[in-house]
Amino acid sequence: AQKVTQAQTEISVVEKEDVTLDCVYETRDTTYYLFWYKQPPSGELVFLIRRNSFDEQNEISGRYSWNFQKSTSSFNFTITASQVVDSAVYFCALSDPRGETSGSRLTFGEGTQLTVNP
């Protein structure tokens, strides 16, 4: 069964600290996509990154970086030099197995509430 676990319910840091959000997933498929979304208080889910299961190369985008490790089924997200505007709920998500559905169905983790204090 598909499952995404974000063990950290809440994280509180002081501005400029680095913070890592953990994500562990379960899937029986070999072809899948992983995602991170940000949900600010306004409620809209903002897409941050997608990673293909065949591409384990880590990625850096500005202050954001992602570490994908198939061996441990983890897809962790690091924010460097956090800012108050980074305060939001962050969700990790996994696509449905190809072949069963169209693949649009996403399984989300429980979310991690990140609070960055000035």
Name which of 18 and 100 has its Cβ closer to other proteins.
Answer: 100
- Angstrom distance (rounded) from CA 79 to CA 109: 18
The pattern of x and - marking residues 73 through 92 that bind other proteins according to CB under 8 A reads ------------------x-
Residue 98 touching other proteins (CB under 8 A): yes
Residue 30 touching other proteins (CB under 8 A): no
Residue 48 touching other proteins (CB under 8 A): no
CA 51 to chain centre: 10
With CB under 8 A as the contact rule, which of the stretches 8-16, 46-54, 67-75, 80-88 interacts with other proteins? 46-54
Selection from 21, 27, 42, 31 nearest residue 92 by Cα: 21
CB of 14 to other proteins, least distance (A): 27
- Angstrom distance (rounded) from CA 37 to CA 14: 22
Q: What are phi and psi of 74, to 5 degrees?
A: -130, 150
